[in-house]
Amino acid sequence: MTGPSVLDVSPVIPVVVLDDAQAAVPLARALLAGGIGVVELTLRTTTALDAVRAVATEVPEILLGAGTVTCAEDAARAVDAGAQFLVSPGTTRAVVEAARSRDVPLLAGVATPSEALLALEMGLHELKFFPAEQAGGAAYLAALRSPLPQLRFCPTGGITPANAPGYLALANVGCVGGSWITPPDVLARRDFGRVEELARAAVALR
Ligand code: 3PG
């Protein structure tokens, strides 16, 4: 991929669980209107790949990721559908190799120094710190910087507008990820105006 790192597009990567693929395009447009240029559509619903396909076709301006990639097959299907980067809750050789074979960036999840070292051995320098709040929060992530200064993170899991600034202030954090910009009730109402407002507020967190 050319252009900026996935971690440098926006302060927040919205993590989206979509039941209705029809909502994907207006959702992506609402994020862009609110100033967020990146989205992660999680492969947690049966319609997720349709949503990825729709955004890839209709909203090429947004950097489109597929999340919850847990095996090589997920990675291949997501890239075939149009995903430009992949996110995984963990770090496995199969997923790392699948992403590399398709030449797309992967934010692989780690939560411990040993996992971070294994990711580094596989050539990854930009990682997802997951589940961020439950694993130790911003203080824990800050403590990884001294021994592992070559790593940058997108913390995800339990991030809110209240705790996001504490992560965004860390030198080893590029951006945070979270689902608060696309809450289930807002998506169910198809309230894309609200998504745009939440996106605008998220951009202002840094
Ligand atoms: C993820 O997959 O990164 C998390 O489910 C997002 O976590 P959150 O819902 O706590 O923001």
From 40, 121, 196, 197, active-site residue: 40
- Which residues are 187's β-sheet partners? none
Crossing angle for the helix pair 24-33 and 192-203, to the nearest 10 degrees: 40
- How many domains are there within the chain? 1
Instruction: Tell me the whole-structure pTM to 2 decimals.
Output: 0.97
Instruction: Give the phi and the psi of residue 103 in degrees, each rounded to 5.
Output: 60, 40
- Report yes or no on 4 lying in a domain: no
Which ligand 1 atom is at minimum distance from the Cα of 178? 11
- Which residue's CA is the nearest one to ligand 1's atom 4? 157
Pocket test for ligand 1, best of 154, 156, 163 (most atoms within 8 A of CB): 156
- Report yes or no on 7 lying in a domain: no
169 burial via Cβ count (<10 Å: 0-12, 13-18, 19+): exposed
Q: Which domain holds residue 142?
A: 12-199
pLDDT score of 2: 58
- Report yes or no on 32 lying in a domain: yes
- Which residue's CA is the nearest one to ligand 1's atom 7? 157
- Report yes or no on 2 lying in a domain: no
- Report yes or no on 34 lying in a domain: yes
- Report yes or no on 3 lying in a domain: no
CATH classification at residue 117: 3.20.20.70
114 burial via Cβ count (<10 Å: 0-12, 13-18, 19+): exposed
Residue 93 CA to ligand 1 center (angstroms) comes to: 22
- Report yes or no on 64 lying in a domain: yes
pLDDT score of 4: 82
pLDDT score of 27: 98
- Report yes or no on 70 lying in a domain: yes
Residue 158 CA to ligand 1 center (angstroms) comes to: 6
pLDDT tens, per residue, the chain with 206 residues: 557 899 999 999 999 999 999 999 999 999 999 999 999 999 999 999 999 999 999 999 999 999 999 999 999 999 999 999 999 999 999 999 999 999 999 999 999 999 999 999 999 999 999 999 999 999 999 999 999 999 999 999 999 999 999 999 999 999 999 999 999 999 999 999 999 999 999 999 98
pLDDT score of 206: 87
